[in-house]
Structure 1
Amino acid sequence: MNTRIESDSIGSIKVPIEAYYGVQSLRAHNNFYITGKGMNPTLIISLAEIKKAAAITNNKAGFLTDNIAKAIITACDEIISGKLHDQFIVDPIQGGAGTSANMNANEVIANRAIELLGGNKGDYTIVHPNDHVNMAQSTNDVFPTAGKLSVLTLLPRAIAQLQRLYNALVVKSAEFDNIIKMGRTQLQDAVPIRLGQSFNAYASVVKRDIDRLNKAQKEMLTINIGATAIGTSINATPEYLSNITANLQTVTGKKIVQADDLIDATQNLDSFVSVSGILKTCAVNLSKISNDLRLLSSGPKTGLAEINLPAKQNGSSIMPGKINPVIPEVVSQVAFNIIGNDFTITMAAESGQLELNAFEPVLFYNLFESIETLENATRTFVDNCITGITANEERCKELLDQSVGTATALCPYIGYKKSAEIAKTALKTGKTVTTLVLEGGFLTETELQDILNPVAMTQIEAKIDKCAI
């Protein structure tokens, strides 16, 4: 393999002659083989956007020549378009608070700029990774800003899938609105509910998650670019400090603002913890819905079997014809992982010391994974489960008729004690609640028909309207 020699403060190292990365990237690659994965493409693009905005700002301020600035900007545009991503060789989990990721970007951009200017890769007398590409910057303001830009790119995709889930659940709530079933508390018979009401409740909680995530995006709009090392803006010119955020806003199209307190914004990662907490809440809700769907579809002959989930694949290597609820299962597994990621993110944010938090790499790795897996799990939940759910109306009616839960509706008329005795006797003898009430002469048949009408029991709106009158 043909190589070139590059040097840093540690010493010299051989770098593949065709590589756009350099000595610092290669050292990090050798030091941090942790996940075996590459950097998140969204983070790579965010880094390139920052470098582009910095080059524009430094050029307008007169500190970066036109030809070098143009070459850097062109190199950044290529990376933003998806090129050269294979040259980002640093593991996403790395020591150094993100310095290796930042230098990987600096070196790739510098070497591509050198090439565009007619030079040979590695000739940093033409374009230098630190002096030119990283001008007026530090890893400590570049990396957290790139993290926030990445979240602002990833979150809307997840929110879009959650909106699809909400819409699908609303459709199902309307489709199942006339189906009465037995509601359950603590897995025991409770009182009647419409199947559509259950699905509407699922839609409501997903809507809250969407609202929370939309608000969470605001946490990501305040960035610390211009802070440089610890928030005091050392090595950043007044021109750069005043214009970098506006130029980055233009490059990204995102309504970002520079933090009022750059020192605070450099050392504290609470905004990422806030976003992760909301993702965890959403994951908990999706897993609870999945739990319900597995229970309601259990059987198909010996369980509840009130609904049918779409059959997606064989459920067993030994039991013929068995179909498992694989989509709700995978949604729950994604939720478990997101919940675990949230703990890692919490500990990473808590473990910072003094003027910098060194643990952003693992925080970003887990946060990006949470957002992307939430998006993907929600997509398959909608496409491969929710839209294909059907109801077993006769089974719902059968279980409702067998239940003594309707006895609850008798309490206002004959009292709790008598109602409990009737329920207990019904369970023991197999007689219906209606039969026992009539045999005891507690109410007339007409009264019972009105009181024990399962449809009326579920009409929340009618009760509210009656109360208003």
Structure 2
Amino acid sequence: MSTQEQHGGGTRTERDTMGTVEVPADRYWGAQTQRSLEHFDIGRDTFVWGRAVVRGLGLLKKSAALANAELGLLPQEVAAAVVQAADEVARGELDDHFPLVVFQTGSGTQSNMNANEVVANRAIEILGGELGSKEPVHPNDHVNRSQSSNDTFPTAVHVSVALELAERLHPAVDALCAALDAKAEELGDVVKVGRTHLQDATPVTLGQEIGAWAGQLREAQEDVRHAGDRVLALAIGGTAVGTGLNSPAQFGPKVAEHLAAETGLAFRQADNLFVQLAAHDGLVAVSSALRTLAGGLMKLANDVRWLASGPRTGIGELRIPENEPGSSIMPGKVNPTQSEAMTMVVTRVFGNDATVGFAGTQGNFQLNVFTPVMAHAVLESVRLVADACRSFTAHCVLGLEADRARIAEHLEADLMLVTALAPHIGYDAAAAIAKQAHRDGSTLREAALASGAVGEADYDRWVDPEAMTRPDCPHPEAMTRPDCPHPEAMTRPD
């Protein structure tokens, strides 16, 4: 969030150990608070369900009015006014007229009626009538025609989730993966110590390590895309219990067609409307997929902060951007704050998924009455993950640097390079060399030559860290690139 966005007035210049910062002139906070505002624009609008769901309700009420007009169920003049009012709702022009909180009736009836009343009164105003008169537009008879809260609210939630995934989440994850790909390409030639069980292992390239982060996120994102397809199926037309009472058979499909035309997403009336009212498994599936994606983000964030730990007494192989001072008492300290923010987001997503998973089991007979809290949890997770990905990309990944000297130092000390000797002298002899080097504090090369099991020329030929990262690739130079034409070689050391 920019200073101008935070406050429309003037600014003053404050200074901290990292330089000058512009702070809103009428605010008591200072430079470090301002840096935090700029570097952690994550989930600032914590009540995210409101705008997203209100947008969904506006789009739905517009589409319903168009469908009812086509079916001859609304006068054209009334339909046109309802469409105009619902458009204003969808665009956010009437957000101040939607004051309700998440915790209401579990069907979302109050929010549906809030939308009906706002649209009706605004349509009355457009037509020159008196607010509150219900003439010539009635909130139930006209705006809610052919609908029930039991089918409209789940429909609006599905619309809002699908739009948030398409417009917010996927672009943010795509941008993060693209930034990781670029960083893997940039640092693809850096050979470093691999680590398993938090212990030294055989070498990898930094490009392979970073490329794995991007690969994990892309696989998880595909799960989110697949789950997201389920919320394109809409409950509209089911009315109160799924039978479609008081709704023409053509109404639901027509509404879905208008929503698809309005959004560019492939909305459709669900095949089984009873299921859409009694269960919200589409939301459960999206939440579960978001949890998997969040797990990949936890892995990424933790790997980055471990590799950047130190900088002098930790692993210290990566250098992270110095975004803000890290301590109020220790001068010059810089912390992995983007990783910390990301991992806190992940814990919140896991908590939201627990809520959604449990709420999804609470369908009784023809209706699940936990829809609002499920919507809130899913939409908050989408927003938080998207914001965190965007922030992590801008304020961490783009500025990541390799400490090549530290990496080379660690690689030189890596006793697991001995793995390259095992095919030539046997596992037991190789293990003895590694253990002797560890006991003596000598290098692996010194211990190998001292053992008499390996000659100098053989050692130098066999123990080649760069070659160990691409055991049988016919194009070894390609193995440090994300677009290696022989990626399967990385998984086949023999």
Question: In 1, are the aligned partners of 2:48 and 2:376 still within 8 Å (CA)?
Answer: no
- Residue 315 in 1 paired to residue 326 in 2? yes
> How far apart, in 2, do the equivalents of 1:196 and 1:260 lie?
46
State the Cα distance separating 1:95 from its structure 2 match.
2.2
Partner of residue 394, structure 1: 405
Measure how far apart 1:264 and its partner are: 1.4
Q: Distance in 2 between matches of 1:150 and 1:56?
A: 19
Matches of 1:180 and 1:377 in 2, distance apart? 29
The counterpart of 2:215, out of the listed 201, 204, 216, is: 204
1:184 is the counterpart of 2:177: no
Q: Which amino acid letter does the alignment assign opposite residue 168 of structure 1?
A: A
Worse-matched range after superposition: 360-369 or 55-64: 55-64
Q: Is the 8 A contact 2:106 2:368 kept in 1?
A: no
Tell me which moved more, 37-46 or 334-343.
37-46
Separation (CA, whole Å) in 2 of partners of 1:372 and 1:290: 18
Q: 1:465 to 1:284 in 2, by over 3 A?
A: closer
Alpha-carbon distance in 1 for matches of 2:270, 2:93: 32
Alignment partner of 1:181: what SS? strand
Q: After superposition, where does 1:343-358 map in structure 2 within 5 Å?
A: 343-358=354-369
TM-score by length of 1: 0.89
Q: Is the 8 A contact 1:345 1:366 kept in 2?
A: yes
Moved more, 457-466 or 300-309: 457-466
Q: Structure 1 residue 438: deviation in Å?
A: 1.7
Q: Which residue of 1 aligns with 2:77?
A: 67
1:442 maps to a residue whose letter is: A
Other-structure match for 1:8: none
What is the Cα deviation at residue 289 of structure 1?
Answer: 0.9
| CA distance in 1: counterparts of 2:348 and 2:48, whole angstroms | 20
What's the offset of the Cα at 1:37? 4.5
Q: Deviations over 1:77-97 (max 9, x none)?
A: 111222111100110232241
- The aligned counterpart of 2:390 is 379
Partner of 1:84: 94
Unaligned residue ranges in structure 1 (runs of 5+): 1-34
Report deviation, 1:39: 5.0
CA RMSD of aligned residues (A): 2.0
2:110 corresponds in structure 1 to: 100
Measure how far apart 1:43 and its partner are: 1.1
Q: Do the aligned residues in 2 keep the contact of 1:38 with 1:90 (CA within 8 Å)? A: no
Q: How does 1:33-432 map to 2 (within 5 A)?
A: 37=47, 39-156=49-166, 157-241=168-252, 243-432=254-443
The aligned amino acid for 2:390 is R
More moved, 252-261 vs 160-169: 252-261
Number of equivalent positions: 435
Instruction: Between the two structures, name the one with larger relative contact order (CA 8 Å, sep ≥ 6).
Output: 2
Q: What's the TM-score, normalizing by structure 2?
A: 0.85
| CA–CA distance in structure 2, aligned partners of residues 397 and 244 of structure 1 | 62
Amino acid at match of 1:134: N
In the alignment, the residues of structure 2 paired with residue 297 and residue 241 of structure 1 have an alpha-carbon distance, to the nearest angstrom, of 54
Quote the offset at 1:248 in angstroms. 3.0
C-alpha change, 1:311 and 1:445, in structure 2 (3 Å) is same
Given candidates 441, 453, 465, the residue that maps to 2:452 is 441
Shift of 1:379: 0.3
* Structure 2: distance between partners of 1:375 and 1:83: 24
Identity of aligned residues (%): 39
SS in 2 for 1:238: coil
Gap change, CA 1:242 and 1:309, over 3 Å in 2: closer
Separation in 2, partners of 1:393, 1:36 = 41
Listed as ranges, the gaps of 5+ residues in structure 2 are 1-44, 475-487
- Report the Cα offset of residue 36 of structure 1: 9.7
Q: CA 1:249/1:465 → structure 2, altered by over 3 Å: closer, same or farther?
A: closer
